[in-house]
Amino acid sequence: MKAFVLDRYGKKETLRAAEVPEPELREDDVLIEVHATAVNLLDVKLRNGEFKLILPYRTPLILGHDVAGVVVRVGPRVRQFKVGDEVYARPDDFRIGTFAERIAVKEDSVAIKPKNITMEEAASIPLVGLTAWQALVERAKLKAGQKVFIQAGSGGVGTFAIQLAKHLGATVATTTSAGNTALVKSLGADVIVDYKKDHFEEQLSDCDVVLNSQDGKTLSKSLGVLKPGGHLISISGPPDPQFARDIKANWLVQQVMRAISFGVRWQAQHLRVGYSFLFMKASGSQLRQITPLIESGAIRPVIDKVFPFDATNEALAYVESGRAKGKVVIKLR
């Protein structure tokens, strides 16, 4: 089958179009014919080698964390899916590889695709949808009436998280440029800060939750907009000791994570707020909870561009440029 392969880590590396063996199907796997996939900043960071401490992948490697397609085979232990089902998924870590014509995904990580959207729209959802769900619902337990600050509202995670937070009844503040104000307002943002001319830390206060996706300087300022007892969840780092324990990291890696997160944990403690790092995980059951929100129209996919499969490297470069509004999708069929 055709795939795009990363031969070595590096910021200037490109993916190589290649013929690769068919995926190995385990007993509890479904084999998905990929109709569409999406590019995430995570793919860029993996290519650059930024996550080698957390995800020590060996090259050559097929990137890609989102898939929408059709089931073409099932393992003998699979009970929830059959050949011909239209599905979507975020494959598990160490089993990624959606920049390919087919991928084997664990049954528990797959869900039936929402009926009211296209394959391209479905492919845009799993990683960002699960990230927002695990941050706002699972970790923050966001409630109606609370105030949440979601950074980079026009990005992939931001566009989904704003809609999810509004569905939960929260007041939503976000940052974006003036050109994207109408977009984030249409998604439900109540307070919009133009990061090019205003400082959010001067505009916002008394937030219950912050979803941080930016750099360390922004993270530090964001801790200050929380009310005492509030919680900042960061999807961009630094990893904290609890995360190191969760992934069963070895002693040395645990000490590294403890050291690199010391400053932000100390600041959070000083401000009497919480800090935690979130690295989202695959979950078919959570996707099944997201599906009715999409089918009811409470959440709509936001897609910037759709690239053909042959232009996978161009799609990766476009995401890396930081100009995308919502998600960048690759169409295979």
The answer to whether the CB of 108 falls within 8 A of the CB of 89 is: no
> Could you tell me if 136 and 207 lie in one domain?
yes
The answer to whether the CB of 128 falls within 8 A of the CB of 156 is: yes
The answer to whether the CB of 284 falls within 8 A of the CB of 108 is: yes
The DSSP result for 137-194, as a single string, is: IIIS---TT-EEEESSTTSHHHHHHHHHHHHTT-EEEEEE-GGGHHHHHHHT-SEEEE
* Domain assignment present for 325: yes
**How many folded domains does the chain comprise?**
2
318: pLDDT strictly greater than 90: yes
Strands 327-331 and 191-194: unpaired
Instruction: Give the contacts of 9 (CB within 8 A, at least 6 positions apart).
Output: 47, 48, 49, 52, 59
Give me the CATH number covering residue 20: 3.90.180.10
> Counting runs of H as helices and runs of E as strands, what totals does the chain give?
12, 16
> Could you tell me if 192 and 239 lie in one domain?
yes
What is the pLDDT, as a whole number, of residue 54? 87
> Could you tell me if 35 and 80 lie in one domain?
yes
* Domain assignment present for 96: yes
d(CA 160, CA 145): 19
Q: What is the mean pLDDT of the chain?
A: 97
> Could you tell me if 190 and 260 lie in one domain?
yes
Which helix (H) or strand (E) element contains residue 258?
helix 251-260
> Could you tell me if 273 and 133 lie in one domain?
yes
pTM given for the model: 0.97
Phi, psi of 36, deg, nearest 5? -155, 150
Average pLDDT, stretch 98-116? 98
> Could you tell me if 113 and 133 lie in one domain?
no
> Could you tell me if 132 and 272 lie in one domain?
yes
The DSSP result for 53-121, as a single string, is: TT--PPSSEE----EEEEEEEE-TT--S--TT-EEEE-PPTTS---SBSEEEEEGGGEEEPPTTS-HHH
Which helix (H) or strand (E) element contains residue 303?
strand 303-308
What is the pLDDT, as a whole number, of residue 290? 98
* Domain assignment present for 308: yes
* Domain assignment present for 295: no
The residue range of the domain holding 253 is 128-277
53: pLDDT strictly greater than 90: no
The answer to whether the CB of 232 falls within 8 A of the CB of 222 is: yes
Name the pLDDT band for 106 (thresholds 50, 70, 90): very high
What is the pLDDT, as a whole number, of residue 148? 98
What is the pLDDT, as a whole number, of residue 61? 97
In percent, the amount of the chain with pLDDT more than 70 equals 100
Task: Indicate the range of 26-30, 53-57, 62-66, 115-119 predicted with least confidence.
Answer: 53-57
Cα end-to-end span (Å), the chain = 14
* Domain assignment present for 285: no
For the stretch 252-300, pLDDT in tens is 999 999 999 999 999 999 999 999 999 999 999 999 999 999 999 999 9
> Could you tell me if 146 and 111 lie in one domain?
no
> Could you tell me if 135 and 112 lie in one domain?
no
What is the pLDDT, as a whole number, of residue 128? 98
- Range 24-27 contact pairs with CB under 8 angstroms and sequence separation of 24 or more: 24/104, 25/73, 25/75, 25/104, 26/75, 26/104, 26/106, 27/75, 27/76, 27/77, 27/78
Q: Token pair of 88, please?
A: 């979507």
> Could you tell me if 109 and 8 lie in one domain?
yes
* Domain assignment present for 292: no
103: pLDDT strictly greater than 90: yes
Name the pLDDT band for 52 (thresholds 50, 70, 90): confident
* Domain assignment present for 311: yes
Average pLDDT, stretch 205-222? 97
> Could you tell me if 110 and 248 lie in one domain?
no
* Domain assignment present for 55: yes
Give me the CATH number covering residue 245: 3.40.50.720
> Could you tell me if 119 and 132 lie in one domain?
no
